Amino acid sequence: MKVAEILASKKPAAITIKPTDTVATLSMLIREHRIGAAVVSSDGVTVEGVISERDIAYGISTHKGDMHAMPVSTLMTKAVITCAPGDLVSYVASTMLSRNIRHLPVKDGDRLVGMISIRDVLKTHVDELQQETALLLSQAARPAEVLQDR
């Protein structure tokens, strides 16, 4: 299965926030959309960074109460790992696990086309396992075919 198939079953675009927006604005955005991360982008197309709930939690320990007014660009991850619609989900899962990443922006060339999460990857894997299980159970329940001697 490819990343494009996951994107087809989700909302079409990733949620973006401008690097100059505040952490308070980000917090409201991720709460409103019930997401764990947003792509930081000035134009909604290019990827300048990623910011997640984890970045906010880590920022609290450093910046304390002043953090809500800080721009997102101060906390965002700037070295962003991305994937492409044509990438295999198994490859993306391996990348996410080895790099301890829960969200990956999906780019088609230089253009942002979506975001996938480890939850999306896990759901895809579980769905595939359930389909395989159903197929195997149906095969096991089928009466044995008697071969005819011709």
Q: How far apart are CA 125 and CA 94, in angstroms?
A: 13
Give the CATH number of the domain where residue 34 resides: 3.10.580.10
What is the token pair recorded at 22? 């505040």
Confidence of residue 85 (pLDDT cuts 50, 70, 90): very high
Say whether pLDDT at 144 is over 70.
Answer: no
Q: Is residue 150 assigned to a domain?
A: no
The pLDDT mean for the chain works out to 89
- The pair of structure tokens assigned to 93 is 């899962």
- Structural domain span for residue 81: 3-141
Q: What is the pLDDT of residue 16?
A: 95
Q: Specify if 8 maps to a domain.
A: yes
Give the total number of structural domains in the chain. 1
pLDDT of residue 62: 87
94 found inside a domain: yes
Q: Which two tokens stand for residue 28?
A: 């409201």
Which helix or strand (DSSP H or E) is residue 116 part of? strand 111-117
| pLDDT of res. 108 | 93
| d(C-alpha 117, C-alpha 33), whole Å | 14
* Predicted TM-score (pTM) of this structure: 0.81
Range 104-133 average pLDDT: 89
Say if 129 falls within a structural domain: yes
Given the DSSP bridges, would you call strands 37-40 and 49-52 parallel, antiparallel or unpaired?
antiparallel
The burial of 64, by beta-carbon neighbours within 10 Å (0-12 exposed, 13-18 middle, 19 or more buried), is given as: exposed
Closest CA to 114 of 50, 30, 23: 50
Whether 149 maps to a domain, the answer reads no
Residue 147 in domain? no
Mean per-residue pLDDT, 81-92: 94
Q: Is residue 106 part of a domain?
A: yes
pLDDT more than 70, % of the chain: 94
pLDDT at residue 137 tops 90: no
In a domain, 17, yes or no: yes
